[in-house]
Structure 1
Amino acid sequence: MSDPAKKTTPTGTANNEHENENSNLRKFFISALKDIYFAENAIIEALDKMQEAATTEELKDAFEDHQLQTKKHVSRLEKVFKLLDEKPEKKECEAIKGIIKEGEEVIKSTEDGSMTRDAALIIAAQKVEHYEIATYGGLVQLALTMGHDKAADLLEETLQEEEDTDYHLTEIAETSINFEAEQED
């Protein structure tokens, strides 16, 4: 005879529904999803400013590509919320607000059209990436721990893209921009 309090989750694992829905870990997980949902939406806006401020076409293109990718991340997060029977909601993320503000300061404090600005923008963008990598890495593990395998797969896909973007930004910096910035007066 089956226990009526147990329910099979979308991943096929049996969990105690009442316990799972109200667990502190699940509450934290949902809160963290709302936090990164806010962050991803804020990043879309910030990337516009960064693209406009960038000097080289290569960096402008990288920011444009990342903005398109970030829109996919938002959509993917909405799928994760749906898998968890949660409404996609934003929770204000002070960390990303601070990182974005720092990026805006980089734009104000560097010369327009300079390679120094591009080098600084890359570092600012990588700070965003590292925040996202840390967040998605943790979320993937929490989803796996709670048996939300489909959600974990979606989050893992985003994590991989964030890591790839970080690598690409490093590549841009190391192949030309940093050297050209060093030559500026």
Structure 2
Amino acid sequence: MTTDSTQQLLIEGLQEMYYAEKQLVDALETLADQTSDETLSEGFSEHREETRTHVDRLEQVFDEIGEEAQTREDRVVKALIEEHEAFAEDNDGDILDRYNGAVGQKTEHYEIAAYGNLTSLAGKLGHDEAADLLEETLREEEAALDEVTEASEQFDQQAVGQ
């Protein structure tokens, strides 16, 4: 990837996150359906609705910076989804639940890093409204990480007790 400006770096990052969030809407539905642990499953369902909001918010960010909302493949999210699909083909029950919790954590960590960088870039470029919107999503991703981590820890404690 050759990028000739900070503005272009921001645009390409936004395009990747737009792709990622759109992919994650479907992936979160799969996680919710596959997870037998009720707390984890509900968390994935709730975050799916929040992720739809993130898609809409990214469209607002594109508008704020005067760009058309377009996707650009995010290889990290694509790989996480493909890795999950392969694992889920051969596993189920508690092991799949635990794996799904870990995938949720990995994804949230990645999104937090990406949104943190995009927020900073937008601010440095003077796109203050876009930076505010991105920071709102960043805070929601941080809260989602806390929730999936807590649900995973509860699942682990229950599994140890069995």
Within the candidate set 122, 139, 148, 1:169 is matched to: 148
Specify the structure having the higher radius of gyration (Cα). 1
- In structure 2, do the counterparts of structure 1 residues 23 and 150 end up closer, same or farther at CA, with 3 Å as the change threshold? farther
Q: Which has the higher contact order (CA 8 A, sep 6+)?
A: 2
Where in structure 1 are there 5+ consecutive unaligned residues?
1-21
Summarize the alignment of residues 23-172 of structure 1 with structure 2, pairs less than 5 Å apart. Answer: 24-111=5-92, 114-172=93-151
Give the Å deviation of 1:117.
1.8
Larger helix fraction of residues: 2
Do the aligned partners of 1:55 and 1:118 also contact (CA within 8 Å) in 2?
yes
Give the Å deviation of 1:107.
1.9
Instruction: Give TM-score, length-normalised by structure 1.
Output: 0.82
- In structure 2, do the counterparts of structure 1 residues 104 and 76 end up closer, same or farther at CA, with 3 Å as the change threshold? same
Where in structure 2 are there 5+ consecutive unaligned residues?
none
How many residues are treated as equivalent by the alignment?
160
Do the aligned partners of 1:144 and 1:152 also contact (CA within 8 Å) in 2?
yes
Give the Å deviation of 1:48.
1.3
The one-letter code of the counterpart of 2:41 is K
Give the Å deviation of 1:183.
5.7
Instruction: Give TM-score, length-normalised by structure 2.
Output: 0.93
Do the aligned partners of 2:15 and 2:71 also contact (CA within 8 Å) in 1?
yes
Give identity over the alignment, percent. Answer: 36
